[in-house]
Amino acid sequence: MTLTANTRGPLAGLIVLDLTRVLAGPYCTLLLADLGARVIKVEMPEIGDDARHIGPFIHNDDGPPTSAYFFSVNRNKESIALNLKVEADRLLFDKLLASADILVENFTPGTMDKLGYGWDVLHGRHPALILASISGFGQTGPYRALPAYDMVVQAMGGVLSLTGEEGGPPTRVGVSIGDIGAGMFAAIGVQAAIIERMRTGIGKHVDIAMLDSQVALLENALARYQVDGVVPGPIGSRHPSITPFGVFKAQDGYLVVAAGNDRMFPRLCDAIGLPDAKTDPRFATNPLRCEHHAALKMLIEQALAARTAAAWLHHLTSVGIPCGPVNDVAGVMRDPQINARGMLMELPLPNGKPFITAACPIQFVGEEPQASQPAPDLDQHRASLLNELGV
């Protein structure tokens, strides 16, 4: 007997086996699940995904505490506990593989070969299967066998060197972009492989490195270094190539102002009461404003000191200047636009209480978001999966 796929969503009809843990891999399979694929999470018995043991924890009346970390990136997935070093569990895994379209793993390269599920073996047995491998450094290169975490690839990929205040120490980005970036690129790679398989009938091995993903996110830092020979460093919240474009202090706090071109700058000057800045030769063009960014910031903040951040946001918005509040997480959860877009999803915890997590940002006009299921307990779906397989 074979597994039945989901029937709703762009990826309906596809079955994903998920051998991943912690964040990069689970984020990839979260996106695939949100888009309609049926995702079956295969976890180590008794232990499960490492993220189940990372706090903060939500305490339940019955059963073990729930990891909020795990809960946030594993919705819409099923769980079965299998030890791939045990023959009986391998037989069950092989039955799951027979129905699968995609297998996602984030072991250190070589581990799947040791388990007997390397690409050559899988491709020989299941030519249409797509394998996505997510690792710190990829399947090739001198670092391929090294372990990695988000912090490591942020450092090696140059991101830490670009983040923080000028003259300050290397600074980690506030979210795990080393993991999240790799997970997103993996989901894109999987979908590209699906399209190619529709033409050829043959699956591909998608190779995603966390380090590669960080290099891909360097934006124009590589270009700037080649143009002027100056190694880019941290510059706080301002943009290296556009001014004014950053965080500015008002009377009672901060706001972001992004006057991103020469047409918009005079409008900003009029809006905040700096008419002389419009004709100041130091600020005549964007490159000149970048050169004299410190002087311009001082003038802007002197003007903004006259009113509250909220007052300026209202006024600047009314005259078409891109701007926004500097929300903390509590502010994000209160923001009317974020709530109107349905980006805060409420799911039930094992204790019955609601838990809010970020929803899928991919929306389709004219379609209601699919109902979501909370992250599974370890081995929660064993009985139903075995029944479906006829075991």
pLDDT single digits (tens) 333-356:
999 999 999 999 999 988 888 999
Active site residue 381: no
Distance CA 83, CA 45 (A): 6
- pLDDT number for residue 1: 64
Sheet of 38-43, strands arranged across: 77-81, 38-43, 15-18, 102-105, 130-135, 205-209
pLDDT tier at 8 (50, 70, 90 boundaries)? Answer: confident
CATH level 3 topology of 15-217+343-389: Rossmann fold (3.40.50)
Distance CA 138, CA 211 (A): 8
* Residue tagged active-site, from 239, 292, 315, 381: 239
Where does the chain hold its CATH 3.40.50.10540 domain(s)?
Answer: 15-217+343-389
Mean of the per-residue pLDDT values of the chain:
95
Where does the chain hold its CATH 3.30.1540.10 domain(s)?
Answer: 245-325
CB-CB contact of 170 with 160 (8 Å): yes
Tell me: pLDDT of 208 over 90.
Answer: yes
**What is the distance, to the nearest Å, from the Cα of residue 294 to the centroid of all Cα atoms in its chain?**
33
Tell me: pLDDT of 370 over 90.
Answer: no
Tell me: pLDDT of 99 over 80.
Answer: yes
Tell me: pLDDT of 44 over 80.
Answer: yes
Q: Which CATH architecture group holds 245-325?
A: 2-Layer Sandwich (3.30)
CB-CB contact of 33 with 372 (8 Å): no
Query: Percent of the chain beyond pLDDT 90?
Result: 91
- pLDDT number for residue 62: 76
- pLDDT number for residue 61: 77
Tell me: pLDDT of 293 over 70.
Answer: yes
Cα angle at 159 between 158 and 160, to 5 degrees? 95
Q: Which residue has the tokens 């009672």?
A: 252
pLDDT, tens digit (0-9, with 9 covering 90-100), for 111-160: 999 999 999 999 999 999 999 999 999 999 999 999 999 999 999 999 99
Tell me: pLDDT of 178 over 80.
Answer: yes
232-255 average pLDDT score: 95
Token pair of 263, please? 């047409």
267-277 average pLDDT score: 96
pLDDT tier at 47 (50, 70, 90 boundaries)? Answer: very high
46-72 average pLDDT score: 91
Tell me: pLDDT of 190 over 90.
Answer: yes
